[in-house]
Structure 1
């Protein structure tokens, strides 16, 4: 089974209340090949919500609140679901403080990217689950 970021499956759950639909991901979900998850929603964050970035080991919203606990809680719940269904791969939304893989925003809210992992992406990798971004779907399927 493949876990996918819910926003890639067309669920309007991103920080701005929008989706980031990818037709291939939507078809995978419709065919029962993938399960959509949003760790941020599982962590009880609202839709919409302030944007957030990783900064010095914490996740801070652009209005200055420390939302690390919510993000970690949601990522742990999502990891538990991934393990329950025997997930071996994941397709996650790039650049996200939760789902980003390889590159994330630098914590300055300036649009600058740095090498790094979203917290859910990192947890999956620690469990030997291969993580891809929406830009790498063909490598995953």
Structure 2
């Protein structure tokens, strides 16, 4: 196997970058091995897009905008972060990403429904969508074994 680079949501690596200032670390032997091998590129699209930590929770609306529960449109920083994630992937020839499921940036199969009531729907986050359209394979933290089989 050659030495792939993998873009990984920084929160999955224990970095406190989530909207609530927390992380969602994943303890998985493959992820630990990839990190030890130097394959992992940590990245938080929301921070890269200029949003602070902590920050108000945001959800994708039916019209595609990303809004906070207070009604602030944060679409532009989400798009900017997605574009920066893509730039990193292109610069480092990254073809795989492991991103946090349900996030308005990183969700790969589901996101919150846009009504701030904790209900999830099928959908993709802003970063996931952009990466997939540029042929980066995106996996969630529940698909690490599947991702391993794709490397």
Q: Which has the higher strand share?
A: 1
Secondary structure of 2:109's aligned partner = strand
Q: Is the alpha carbon distance of 1:128 and 1:108 closer, same or farther for their aligned partners in structure 2, counting shifts above 3 Å?
A: same
State how far apart, in whole Å, the 1-side matches of 2:32 and 2:66 are: 29
- Cα deviation for residue 26 of structure 1 reads 4.8
TM-score by length of 2: 0.90
State how far apart, in whole Å, the 2-side matches of 1:107 and 1:86 are: 33
Which residue, 36, 39, 49 being the options, matches 2:45? 39
Unaligned runs of 5+ in 2: none
- Cα deviation for residue 23 of structure 1 reads 2.2
State how far apart, in whole Å, the 2-side matches of 1:13 and 1:19 are: 6
Secondary structure of 2:71's aligned partner = coil
> Rg: which structure is higher?
2
Secondary structure of 1:132's aligned partner = strand
State how far apart, in whole Å, the 2-side matches of 1:62 and 1:26 are: 35
* Cα deviation 1:87-110 (Å, max 9, x = unaligned): 111100000000000111010001
Secondary structure of 2:15's aligned partner = coil
What does residue 102 of structure 2 align with? 95
Runs of 4+ in structure 1 deviating by more than 4 angstroms, as ranges, are none
TM-score by length of 1: 0.96
What does residue 136 of structure 1 align with? 143
* Cα deviation 1:2-41 (Å, max 9, x = unaligned): 1100000111000000011112335423421110100000
Unaligned runs of 5+ in 1: none
Secondary structure of 2:72's aligned partner = coil
Contact 1:53 1:109 in 2 (8 A): yes
Please, what is the CA RMSD of the aligned residues? 1.1
Q: How do 1:45-64 residues align onto structure 2 when only pairs under 5 Å count?
A: 45-55=51-61, 56-64=63-71
